[in-house]
Amino acid sequence: MDIISINAPLTSSFLTYGNDLLGLVAKAQASGHEIMIHAPMEPKKANNLAPDTLKTDMNKTQIDDLFVQMLQRFDNVKVNGINNHMGSKFTEDAEKLGYVMNILKQRNMFFLDSKTSASSKGKDLAVKNDIKFVERDVFLDNNNDYDYILKQLQKAEDIAIKKGFAVAICHPKSQTYLALKDWVESLNGKQLKLVHVSEIVQKINDKN
């Protein structure tokens, strides 16, 4: 089984390449998931790069063209925003990330910063250019271990109680599926509400 089979208001972010992309998207939507684009961006360690990675040595035209191609693969899908896949180098480059953000603004899409770099320019660019934005609070599954993932989910709960929301990112790993499935079922007895990322984005950006 896979995370996209969990029937809950989760947000599934899909890489822009791969087999049966739209088929997987449809399965996620059938489970009540919101769809985002997981846009590959250049990391500091250039290993295992995706075939369509946005890189800092690209000029504006190259970045614009490649990013629009990524978006076009989801033309028939309702997509409200993107987050970065890797990108520790790219998101630190205000000029190059700015080209991506400009396109997001034109399309009224939000940017979820995965925060693969503490020095990401995502928030600065979003505030400066009035772009809808949110940052990741917790990575759930740096370790593919059931108990570790549950502890990270508890950390996300604690953050949500303190500041009103929390954004947690995970991957389609075996133990992540099991832990997330059990955690979702446990929410019935808690004063917490699981929502799509776009709902959080809308509320926090309306305040600013």
List, for residues 181-191, the tens digit of each pLDDT value. Answer: 999 999 988 99
- Calpha distance 112→125 (Å, rounded): 12
pTM of the complete model: 0.95
Report pLDDT digits (tens) over 91-134: 999 999 999 999 999 999 999 999 999 999 999 999 999 999 99
Name the percent of the chain lying above pLDDT 70.
Answer: 99
47 pLDDT higher than 80: no
pLDDT tops 60 at residue 1: no
Question: CA of 63: how far to CAs of 11, 111, 148, in Å?
Answer: 26, 16, 37
d(CA 133, CA 173): 27
Phi, psi (5° rounding) for residue 176?
A: -65, -45
